[in-house]
Structure 1
Amino acid sequence: MTGLSFLALLVIGLPIAFALIALAMIMIWTSGNPILFQSFPQQFFGGLENYGLLALPLFILLGEFMNAGGIGRRLMNVSVALLGSVRGGLAYVNLVANMMMASILGSTVAQITIMSRVAVPEMERTGYPRDVSVAITAAGGMLAPIIPPSMLFIIFGVIAQLPIGDLFIAGILPGVILFVVFLAVIGWLGQRHNFPRSEKVALAQRLRAMRDALPAVLIPVVIIGTILGGVATPTESAAVASILAILIGRFVYREMNWSDIWSSFIRAGASSAVVLFLIAAAGLFSWVITFNNLPAIVSDWLQGVTSSPLIFLLLINLMLLFLGMITDPIPAIILVVPVFLPVAVNVYGIDPFQFGVIVCLNLTAGLLTPPVGTGLFAAAMMGNVRAERLAVLITPFFVAVAFVQALLVLFPPLTLGLNNWLR
């Protein structure tokens, strides 16, 4: 009954946040406990009373400052200087730049949008097929959810009540593995599509590009270094990096004026308001399903299906793959985490950090799958390529993601080892 109600609300076009609130109200009414409505406002606003949530608007603001200050373009230039002279050099450059951007933006759609403006025209100019260039750029966006900072990690950490800094650390090694596997996919695509060899970059030009990019590279170094070193929380590191991005864009690169800074604040505020309202609705929904003992019901059902943690994770991955095809990652996390995380941890003994990395990576792949595929259609629109064609070209990268997911399921130290080593 509850699932049908939620589906009906989505079908009539109700936004996901309002659908979650309406569903919570329906569940309270049908449970026969209308007294819970008295706690409704408190639970709604209580979902935002979390210090870790401050990191979310700050990282969104950082992405706006980066875009306005020319930092993304410098990262692309230094990647060209380092890798551009090998066969398929610009394809590798695209992925390296995507990895650098992922360590700053943390948002797949934002990353695809920026890199489509920077990388695709340059690749097409040097002889790469446009559709393949757009596909590589879109696939690089899948690095965003697990290379810190990650917007999805922040949301997962808030809902799961886990330290966001530890989640960031848990994503570093899987992110590097995914990056290496993507390099292998690009090498295979280079052989198949006969990628051109870029012009050799002179040593003086390489040194100049590296010098120009040093201030831009400083931003991810500050973010990751302060978190790993225990100097700052993710929220504090995002604030410091945002100030640093203003100083670099305004006074070093001189591409950002005061009106750009004000516009960045406005855009970041609007984007943050939408996400935070959704998280508040999620907190309300989580409270209601916990009160109605839904995690225990799901736990009993799953134990009747399988007692194996591996089979459980396989079922979760299949479910997430389907869910990611029809909804965006943030609402999917909101729906999945309150129900399945207690089962994963308490019944199957799965570490919550391992579960978080697997969930975030799986749902981000859904951004590039039809029929919803926000990232897929954003890349298709930015690159002027048919979405159906793009979906076919991205398939090898999906195979790579599935391979990495299998590694994360079979070898928990890939997500837990770095945290354990740092303790």
Structure 2
Amino acid sequence: MTTAIGFFALMFIGVPIAIVLGLTTLIYVLTTGNLTILQSMPSKLFNGLQNFGLVAIPMFILLGEFMNQGGITNRLLEFAKVIFGHFRGGLAYVNVVANMFLATIIGSSTAQTAVMSKTVVPVMEKEGYSRDFSSALTASASVVAPLIPPSMPFIIYGVTAGVSIGSLFLAGILPGIIFGLGFGLYIYTIAKKRNFPRSDRSSWSQVLKGTVYVLPALSIPVLIMVGITTGIFTATESAAVAVLVALLVGGFVYRELKWKHLPGILVRTIITTSTVTFLLAMSDIFGWVLNFNQIPQLITDAFLAVADNQFVFLLLVNLLLLLIGTVLEGVPALILLTPILVPIAVHYGVDPIHLGVIMVINLTLGLISPPVGSVLFVTSAVANVSVERLTRSLIPFLIISCLILMIITYIPWTTLGLQKLLGP
């Protein structure tokens, strides 16, 4: 009981989750006198990081830094505008498509929302869109960030659950596209009613020029997926190859990545990687405490007592994860919940790959859900719109997102079909 109180008290006062996990473990050791865990903590800390798949984390972080600094992000945004800008509500479509493009670079809803709120929302407002709608669309479209590879949450889930990261990358592509189509359909239905503006149609020469100009940028996500699906390299190896290509594209094709940028890029990569790996190490010893006290088994028994079939189990998982996602970031939540939920899902006949996609979607939706979703507050701060107004504009997008979530949850082909068609 003391351990549980300590855990929630530390969470409530805003202590970083990695510190919470470490201190909670220490509280347990001190209150129970369990010296076995205390003596084994150093080795457990390192054991939690001895997984080849974790090498992908710094590689994909470095990839995102190279692509942003190398001007690749701006090329993708401009290309989306050339292709979709002439439709009624064109900038709204550009927002969605640009989020899908940026998902191949950033892979984080919070970071992606900050970038898009700063770059696209002001442009949309200038063209005649309301700030509330533009901000809500930007926050909602960030849902695709962790779904379209490369994806940090999928790497974390794959390592924690012991499943193929490459298979998870494939599993996220179709759901990401479905979300994009869902938001696009909503924009289409309201564009005429709200008299959304449209830009002049780009000439064929502009389209051709934009396509040629963006091809080096598009080659990076294509290289990752083709390499994985053909078995040329693993997801981890693909990250290293993509980093090299991004370095060449940003430095020698677009010529915006300079030697002077490298120290800052490497420092940011080291800081972000250290944060994630420290969290993984702390979660490993915390998970050991949970297993030592048979907490996963108790939770399993509780699920089995309430859910007598797969349908009910998946419904309960969705509700649980949506709630948790509003108060806890995706990566910590995945680290804590994956070891608990995967064995239960297998018992109900749910594929772990399918469960991984469901978990990532739910936790991402939690980030844009009131009252405490972090993406909600990031969008509010960067776009300078009140949380109340933003929440009202988010409601249609949340409804659409939940409907898509139900489709993906109960139609496993949406996550597993591409793997069966293209997987190694």
TM-score using structure 2 length: 0.95
Aligned residue for 2:202?
Answer: 201
CA distance in 1, matches of 2:316, 2:148: 25
Q: For residue 198 of structure 1, report the CA deviation from its aligned partner.
A: 1.4
User: Deviation per CA, 1:169-217, whole angstroms, max 9, x where unpaired?
Assistant: 1112222222211211222342443211212212222222112111111
Aligned residue for 2:357?
Answer: 357
Q: For residue 369 of structure 1, report the CA deviation from its aligned partner.
A: 2.2
Aligned residue for 1:12?
Answer: 13
Mean CA deviation greater in 115-124 or 374-383: 115-124
SS in 1 for 2:334: helix
CA distance in 2, matches of 1:407, 1:153: 20
The residue identity in structure 1 corresponding to 2:381 is: M
Aligned residue for 1:312?
Answer: 313
SS in 2 for 1:326: coil
Task: List aligned pairs for 1:222-241, cutoff 5 A.
Answer: 222-241=223-242
CA distance in 2, matches of 1:217, 1:249: 12
Q: For residue 15 of structure 1, report the CA deviation from its aligned partner.
A: 1.8
Mean CA deviation greater in 137-146 or 413-422: 413-422
Aligned residue for 1:103?
Answer: 104
Mean CA deviation greater in 224-233 or 356-365: 224-233
CA distance in 2, matches of 1:186, 1:285: 45
CA distance in 2, matches of 1:319, 1:360: 13
1:384 is aligned to 2:387:
no
Q: For residue 29 of structure 1, report the CA deviation from its aligned partner.
A: 5.2
Conservation of the 8 A alpha-carbon contact between 1:327 and 1:372? no
Q: For residue 262 of structure 1, report the CA deviation from its aligned partner.
A: 2.1
Q: For residue 418 of structure 1, report the CA deviation from its aligned partner.
A: 2.1
CA distance in 2, matches of 1:36, 1:130: 53
Aligned residue for 1:402?
Answer: 402
Q: For residue 143 of structure 1, report the CA deviation from its aligned partner.
A: 0.3
Q: For residue 372 of structure 1, report the CA deviation from its aligned partner.
A: 3.2
Task: List aligned pairs for 1:7-86, cutoff 5 A.
Answer: 7-28=8-29, 33-86=34-87
Conservation of the 8 A alpha-carbon contact between 1:84 and 1:93? yes
The residue identity in structure 2 corresponding to 1:164 is: I
Q: For residue 260 of structure 1, report the CA deviation from its aligned partner.
A: 1.4
What percentage of aligned pairs have identical amino acids? 45
Conservation of the 8 A alpha-carbon contact between 1:326 and 1:371? no
Conservation of the 8 A alpha-carbon contact between 1:115 and 1:137? yes
Aligned residue for 2:368?
Answer: 368
SS in 1 for 2:120: helix
User: Deviation per CA, 1:71-104, whole angstroms, max 9, x where unpaired?
Assistant: 1111111111111111011111111111111122
Pair 1:189–1:138, CA change in 2 (3 A): farther
Aligned residue for 2:131?
Answer: 130
Conservation of the 8 A alpha-carbon contact between 2:88 and 2:192? no
User: Deviation per CA, 1:50-74, whole angstroms, max 9, x where unpaired?
Assistant: 1111111111111111111111111
Q: List runs of 5+ in structure 1 lacking aligned partners.
A: none
Conservation of the 8 A alpha-carbon contact between 1:67 and 1:114? no
User: Deviation per CA, 1:260-281, whole angstroms, max 9, x where unpaired?
Assistant: 1221111111111111111111
Task: List aligned pairs for 1:274-289, cutoff 5 A.
Answer: 274-289=275-290
CA distance in 2, matches of 1:14, 1:296: 28
Aligned residue for 1:419?
Answer: 419
Q: For residue 322 of structure 1, report the CA deviation from its aligned partner.
A: 1.1
Aligned residue for 1:183?
Answer: 184
SS in 1 for 2:243: helix
CA distance in 1, matches of 2:58, 2:371: 29
Mean CA deviation greater in 120-129 or 141-150: 120-129
Q: List runs of 5+ in structure 2 lacking aligned partners.
A: none
The count of residues paired between Structure 1 and Structure 2 equals 422
SS in 2 for 1:217: helix
The residue identity in structure 1 corresponding to 2:407 is: L
Q: For residue 28 of structure 1, report the CA deviation from its aligned partner.
A: 4.5
Aligned residue for 1:325?
Answer: 326
User: Deviation per CA, 1:308-330, whole angstroms, max 9, x where unpaired?
Assistant: 11111111111111111112111
Conservation of the 8 A alpha-carbon contact between 2:326 and 2:374? no
Conservation of the 8 A alpha-carbon contact between 1:160 and 1:338? yes
Task: List aligned pairs for 1:94-173, cutoff 5 A.
Answer: 94-173=95-174
Pair 1:47–1:192, CA change in 2 (3 A): farther
CA distance in 2, matches of 1:39, 1:412: 41
Q: For residue 153 of structure 1, report the CA deviation from its aligned partner.
A: 0.6
- Alignment RMSD: 1.7
CA distance in 2, matches of 1:104, 1:226: 17
